[in-house]
Amino acid sequence: MHRLDKVDLQLLRALCADPRSTFVALAQQLHLSRNTVQARMARLEESKAFLSFDRRINPVALGYPLTAFIEVHVQQKRLAQIVAELARIPEIVQAHGMSGATDILVRVVCADADDLFRIDGTILACEGVDRTETSLAMGELIPFRITPLLERTGRQGGAGTSGPGASPFPDAMIP
């Protein structure tokens, strides 16, 4: 596991502010050498600190203005097969295995209500899917963000600092 230090956190905050920053620009901004920035960025990338680029592409630009969340209830013994089938549905942009009453929470994008109905039907057609419950997202209230976590981690000197709201983990770590 790679432990994030102060320089790593500074780099990540700078990238959140301007994701297209060059190594030279980051080096100048953070008062580091270009080689240090390049080595740190390589290490962060190797440790999988960065998500895939496609998370930054807005589905609306591709003709999918609606987002829905579908709770999928499945026969557990067929879970792996169902997940493989769900992965073949292009409109499914994310899926999570859940605890509780729902087995899989699927995030889908769609062109309109008819498209959502078709996608839901495709999910229901997967062998081992018992039922689904669909909720249409009316709007994104808090977009995906990491900057507040980076800021808190930096203020606390690591994620393991004790106190109210502190993380139970000893340091900010990336597997």
The tens digit of pLDDT for each residue in 98-128 reads: 999 999 999 999 999 999 999 999 999 999 9
The answer regarding whether domain 58-136 maps to CATH 3.30.70.920 reads: yes
The tens digit of pLDDT for each residue in 10-22 reads: 999 999 999 899 9
Domain boundaries, the chain: 2-50+146-174, 58-136
Q: In the prediction, which pLDDT does 53 show?
A: 78
Task: Identify residue 29 by its one-letter amino acid code.
Answer: Q
Please give the model's pTM, rounded to 2 decimal places: 0.77
In whole angstroms, give the CA distance from residue 78 to residue 63.
33
Q: Which helix (H) or strand (E) holds 72?
A: strand 66-74
pLDDT-derived band at 4 (thresholds 50, 70, 90) equals confident
In whole angstroms, give the CA distance from residue 167 to residue 1.
17
